[in-house]
Chains A and B, each alone.
Chain A
Amino acid sequence: MIKVGSHRKIWGVAALAVALMFGILSSASADSGKTQASRVPKPHLVGEKGNKCVRPVSYMRRHHMELLMHHRDEVLHKGIRTKQYNITNCIECHASPKNNSVLGSNQNFCQGCHKYVGVKLDCFECHNPKNVKVKDIAFHPLIVPGKKPDAKPSLADTMRKKMTDARAHQEKSGVVK
């Protein structure tokens, strides 16, 4: 009896061990699936229009600041205003659809990644982080953007011209010297 009992016990333990092992393995495999995603936490960024940046993404991740820095000198010091590397062009694509900005939460493109890598972001102390279209820019009610001044001379202009013409005529005819 004892022998039989011990055999049963051994079988029972073995079955339990196998069951446990399977259980551990299956849970481990499930865990490994989970941990592979979460072991390296990545920023969850929203707001990327289109699928192509101005340069390959791997290049942009490392070098976007160099492009921006080069471009800012071109714009400010030389007046070269190409659009490709302009910060407003970046914002136009990368602004979050939620708040129309690249800042605001850790899901917003610029803030999210800079928070993740722990690098201070100071562009937006001066630059507007929102995607503002040029046509949205509020002009003075008197100013129509892009409108050239009237070619028609004002009354003052006409009077001035008459005066200068008269003076020139007098000088020519020798009345005034």
Chain B
Amino acid sequence: MSDTDKSRRKFIGTSAAAVAGLSIAPGVSLLQTAQARPADQAASSKNRWGLLIDSNKCSSGCDKCVTACFTANWVKEAHGPTDSQWIRKVDLKSLSNGKSHSLPVMCQHCENPPCVDVCPTGASFKRADGIVLVDRHICIGCRYCMMACPYKARSFVHHPLTDQNPEVPRGQGTVEACTLCDYRIDRGELPACVDACNQEGNGAMLFGDLNDPSSEIAKRVATENTTQIRADLQLNPGVRYEGV
């Protein structure tokens, strides 16, 4: 490589950094947390929606987030253990000191989602803003993604459904999981679980934009000791935990 090439690259590098610095400067740009996007505007990769769950504030008896999720998304079939499960409460106990934790676990909205890697039809996909979804129009119900997911986040709909939420179409023969309430996020609202947790007064779930350094969630992830479940898999989930 000639010297001119090198200097050119250096120049591009520094100018790119300068541009990045400008756009990230506080108050200059980037969307605030859960701000409504105009309906005709596409989801942008400038955002990375995420959740921070503080297990210190999450009590083992409370399942308001689970109820809220099922109620808001009209998930209400009751056939047995194979029913859809978008979010569940998990109780953990440390064998060494006996301390117990309780936390909700749902689709972790990975940056490198294994469910997307294995999907043979392209039905499993990641939206530009980091939300991992199933396109049920394309899903053939092979359930490979359910096998691939290390978090057991996905469910298969075994029975015919009626009376779905018009905003949450779902049906037999397809796989589904937590959508992070994408339709609510697009309207500028919080996911149903976070809303319920806040209204219950627990405040254990924080929703926000991990890419926006001025957002509450990004600040806490930057300053506090947060954990990713199965961080060893290097999937970089959008759902982080604290106090585990």
Contacts and interface: CB of A to CB of B under 8 A. Distances in A.
A150 B198 CA distance: 8
Given A140-B67, A140-B196, A142-B200, A81 B186 contact: yes
Contacts of B136: 126
A173 interface: no
B127 A149 contact: no
A139 to B, nearest CB: 6
Most buried by A among B40, B129, B202: B40
Contacts of B71: 138-140, 143
A98 interface: no
Given A125-B160, A126-B174, A143-B195, 15 more contacts: A78-B42, A79-B43, A79-B127, A82-B40, A126-B171, A128-B169, A130-B163, A137-B167, A138-B71, A139-B192, A140-B68, A142-B64, A143-B72, A144-B199, A154-B202
Most buried by B among A77, A127, A128, A137: A128
Nearest to A76: B135
Contacts of A156: 57, 203
A149 to B, nearest CB: 4
A83 interface: yes
A149 B199 CA distance: 7
Contacts, number: 105
A150 B135 CA distance: 34
Given A140-B68, A140-B72, A142-B68, A78 B166 contact: no
Interface in A93-125: 125
Q: What interface size band does chain B fall in?
A: 35 or more
Contacts of A154: 201-203
Given A83-B39, A142-B196, A157-B203, A76 B72 contact: no
Contact of B43 (A78, A137, A144): A78
B23 interface: no
B239 interface: no
